[in-house]
Amino acid sequence: MVMKNNETRIEPPVSGSPALTEKAKKELLRIAREAIESYVRFHRVPELKISEPELQQKLGAFVTLTIQGQLRGCIGRFEPDMPVAEVVQQMALAAATDDPRFSPVTPDELPKIRIEISVLTPRKKIRDINEIQVGKHGLYITRGWRGGTLLPQVATEYGWSREEFLQHTCYKAGLPPDAWKDKDTEIFIYSAEIFHEP
């Protein structure tokens, strides 16, 4: 997942996943879908309309696009300074048009695209890897100017152990797979509420 985040050092505790109602989740999926459809077809960003008050919360989010189960784009942001509804709109556009691993989504692909949204808790820095709960926590690993993250669902999808999850996150950050053992490497955990289109 490509990160577009504010690099802050705020380290509040990781609680459970952000509690969103089903109506709020549907609204975020609508916002993401409308943003992608409007921009890919007409090069216009639609006006953001928020009807659910809880979507004014300032939360980070990732938007993941797949076609028949294959990744087609994924970009997200931690610790935003804007409502989660706005974060989702921006990250949906970025995932569709600005993920450097892929060419921009085309109009022909729009009916095949499936949108998944991960709304994040703030990150918490840890010093003991036993705090990591595979399947519940995402990882963000940084050393020097390199950093990378993998969402909670990635470890579950691949059946990774805790150590494998750490190794793959290091690799994502452009670091050696055992860099998580280095005292200069910082490890953060976070949780996510994950939902997607049918």
pLDDT in tens, 156-196: 999 999 999 999 999 999 999 999 999 999 999 999 999 99
Distances in whole angstroms, Cα of residue 42 to Cα of each of 29, 74, 106, 124: 19, 22, 11, 40
Look at 2 and 52; give whichever has higher pLDDT: 52
Chain centre to alpha carbon of residue 22: 19
Taken as a whole, the chain contains a residue count of 198
pLDDT in tens, 32-47: 999 999 999 999 999 9
pLDDT in tens, 91-133: 999 999 999 999 999 999 999 999 999 999 889 999 999 999 9
In this structure, what are the phi and psi dihedrals at residue 63, rounded to the nearest 5 degrees? Answer: -120, 125
Distances in whole angstroms, Cα of residue 158 to Cα of each of 8, 140, 141, 168: 30, 18, 19, 11
Task: Say how far apart CA 133 and CA 170 lie, in whole Å.
Answer: 17
